[in-house]
Structure 1
Amino acid sequence: MRIVTTGRSSRERWPLMSGRFVISLDFELLWGVRDHADRRSYGANILGARTAIPRMLDLFAANDIRATWAIVGFLFCENKEELLDCVPEVMPAYTNARFSNYGYFDEIGRDERTDPYYFAPSLIDQIAQTPGQEIGTYTLSHFYCLEDGATAEAFEADLKGALRLASRRGITLGSIVFPRNQFAAAHLDICARLGISTYRGNPPGWAYQAAKGEEQTYSRRALRLVDAYSGVLGAHSFAPAGGSPANVPASRFLRPCAGRLARLHPLHIATIKRGMTATVRAGAGYHLWWHPHNFGGDVQGNMQGLSTLISHFVELRDGYGMASCSMGVAPCV
């Protein structure tokens, strides 16, 4: 639906300024959570994501929203035969075998119709056909760059596999999001060499720095949680940066409206709105991200929150010239 703003114009409250609003989505289905969840424990969220994605695309199209969809390469596969055919020569050898998605191939069905948890070519087609949507990569296998046993050689083989799968469908991948936000300088060097021009970095500060799973301590998670509902660490807006690939750092993870924290979701939405507003005042960028399956448990409630944020963006666009941007190839509007 197209968002229409009402009430007193923001132009009456602040002087005209500008800013950039970036959205990226980490599209992974079950590949992104299989190390700790399965169809039985999380399948409803995965199927809910398949309902939510077309609604997100409709909302984006109606309001001229640009976005980057970072997609796990395996989701491109039409069937299990193609999945098996795209396995790279060098696979990750994680110390914790649960991290390797290659270990779950035996449970995967024949194709998207029989196994909607692991295949998504029809959804990718919908994304590609929606104006303003950029398709980026979330690596081939949901590769964990910083976990013990991962190597730069295996990461390069994985990324090459993702590039090949996309190329078969006429898609050039120019942006990358790193699973679990894990990366180091060596991984960025490989991305640059393989033609990736932009990546999503992390917000500044100790709580958000890239780290392997066992280093994501309770203290870090707790501080991120408090920040999500209060903005105590600031708006996390960003200024354009150079480099190859260029960093388009995250500002805020759009947390799901779910569970015990659902009643606090309005506080979270208000925190994001304040960050977007502060970004306009600074003439900077604001980068919002989430996983489609985050919407899967309560599609209606989560779409309502997203619609509120898009409404706020439309107000900032109409009043101050804030522009909607993808991470990479699509121009801002």
Structure 2
Amino acid sequence: MSGGEIVISLDFELLWGVRDHATRDSYGANILGGRAAIAPTLERFARHGIQATWATVGAAFCGSREELLEVLPHKDLWPRYQNPALSNYRYLDELGADEAHDPYYFGASLVDQIADCPGQEIATHTMSHYYCLEPGADMASFAADLDAACQVAKQRSITLQSIVFPRNQYSPLHLDTIEQRGIRRYRGNPGAWAYRSVAGAGQTLPRRLMRLIDAHTGVLGPHLFRPGGNNVPASHFLRPRAGRLTALHPYHLAVIERAMTRAAQTETGFHLWWHPHNFGLDTEANLAGLDRIIAHFTRLREEYGMVSRTMATSGERQ
């Protein structure tokens, strides 16, 4: 594979991805802004030949409350987390009738928009934004949740080939379960200790601080990978330009660019990821950051032959 590859994945969640700690009132503007950012993101991808994987929460595939309730697992197989707030099944009574009345939870029209854009893969982010390693989670409820996600995708003629585990939590047993359902690729974590797959209680201040430092300095390395395996590990999270760290954002983009260059030079892979709602505020500035990354990829494509790949097509030759 000449010139290395860049893989882009987006965790498309709507409010399902943050409901355990946020509401329409506290985070709704980010969700609506993230929806609005999808069209210009896709336009950029199409214009520059960028492939991307959109790991979508199964519930967000739905266009209405009625459609969602029809595909959910039986209540006996809903997760019983020790922290009940983690279960998105407990928020079903909040749902509006359909996407027009509740764009915070339903995203069927956006799934169609993504599917219609060339080079885009729609993957799964589980049905309910399932947390595999949280106390109270078990393999039976995970399998039922994943089966529901596969069913709702099939109803839209989508065959799931890749998965992004919510909050990057998984174990070998979860990998066996996805393989049994024909899902062959997953986004693993970078190898450094600060990125290891742990439950929420394990996300200690030193881990979070080290990831923050790494994002703006690259001190832990470029986090590259050899394409072609089932694991398509993350390299860097594209942090939004926001808040007190706004002044440091150019340094963060420079870390990403250096890692991309290293991947092109060493014929390895670089995997960048984010959430659409990360672009929900200060959207134009965040899209400008994406433009900078795309422009850098274009230079690497011209100079080294770097290619853009989805998770499903990672490792494929042209």
Instruction: Specify the TM-score bucket, using the shorter chain as the normaliser.
Output: over 0.9
SS state at 1:228 partner: helix
5 Å-filtered alignment, 1:48-127, equals 48-89=33-74, 90-127=77-114
- Residue 329 of structure 1 deviates from its aligned partner by 4.6
- Quick one: structure 1 residues 277 and 193, their matched pair in 2 at CA, closer, same or farther if it must change by over 3 Å? same
Could you list the per-position Cα deviations for residues 93-145 of structure 1 after superposition, in whole angstroms to 9, with x for gaps in the alignment? 10000000011111110101000000001111110000000000000000000
- Quick one: structure 1 residues 214 and 290, their matched pair in 2 at CA, closer, same or farther if it must change by over 3 Å? same
What stretches of structure 1 move > 2 A for 4+ residues in a row?
A: 329-333
Q: 2:275 aligns with which of 274, 288, 291?
A: 291
What letter matches 1:291 in structure 2?
H
Cα distance between partner residues in 2 of 1:140 and 1:332:
32
CA contact (8 A) 1:66 1:332 kept: no
| 2:187 is equivalent to residue 203 of structure 1 | no
Aligned to 2:259: 275
Cα distance between partner residues in 2 of 1:250 and 1:332:
20
What letter matches 2:150 in structure 1?
L
Q: 1:184 aligns with which of 151, 171, 185?
A: 171
SS state at 1:289 partner: strand
Cα distance between partner residues in 2 of 1:114 and 1:176:
29
Cα distance between partner residues in 2 of 1:214 and 1:332:
41
SS state at 1:26 partner: strand
Aligned to 1:303: 287
Cα distance between partner residues in 2 of 1:152 and 1:282:
39
Per the normalisation by structure 1, the TM-score is 0.93
Q: 1:47 aligns with which of 25, 32, 37?
A: 32
| 2:158 is equivalent to residue 171 of structure 1 | yes
CA contact (8 A) 1:325 1:332 kept: no
Could you list the per-position Cα deviations for residues 11-56 of structure 1 after superposition, in whole angstroms to 9, with x for gaps in the alignment? xxxxxx6101000000001000000000111111000001100010
- Residue 332 of structure 1 deviates from its aligned partner by 6.4
Sequence identity percentage: 57
Cα distance between partner residues in 2 of 1:329 and 1:239:
13
For the aligned residue pairs, the C-alpha RMSD in angstroms reads 1.3
CA contact (8 A) 1:21 1:323 kept: yes
Aligned to 1:5: none
CA contact (8 A) 1:140 1:162 kept: yes
The gaps in structure 2 that reach 5 residues or longer are none
CA contact (8 A) 1:74 1:141 kept: yes
Cα distance between partner residues in 1 of 2:72 and 2:108:
18
Could you list the per-position Cα deviations for residues 187-238 of structure 1 after superposition, in whole angstroms to 9, with x for gaps in the alignment? 0000000100100000002100000001100000000000000000000011
Cα distance between partner residues in 2 of 1:332 and 1:166:
27
Aligned to 1:233: 220
SS state at 2:53 partner: strand
The count of residues paired between Structure 1 and Structure 2 equals 315
Cα distance between partner residues in 1 of 2:110 and 2:62:
12
What letter matches 1:328 in structure 2?
A
Cα distance between partner residues in 1 of 2:246 and 2:238:
13
What letter matches 2:165 in structure 1?
F
SS state at 2:308 partner: strand
The gaps in structure 1 that reach 5 residues or longer are 1-16
SS state at 1:222 partner: helix
Cα distance between partner residues in 2 of 1:81 and 1:324:
38
- Residue 152 of structure 1 deviates from its aligned partner by 0.7
Cα distance between partner residues in 2 of 1:218 and 1:329:
36
Aligned to 1:316: 300
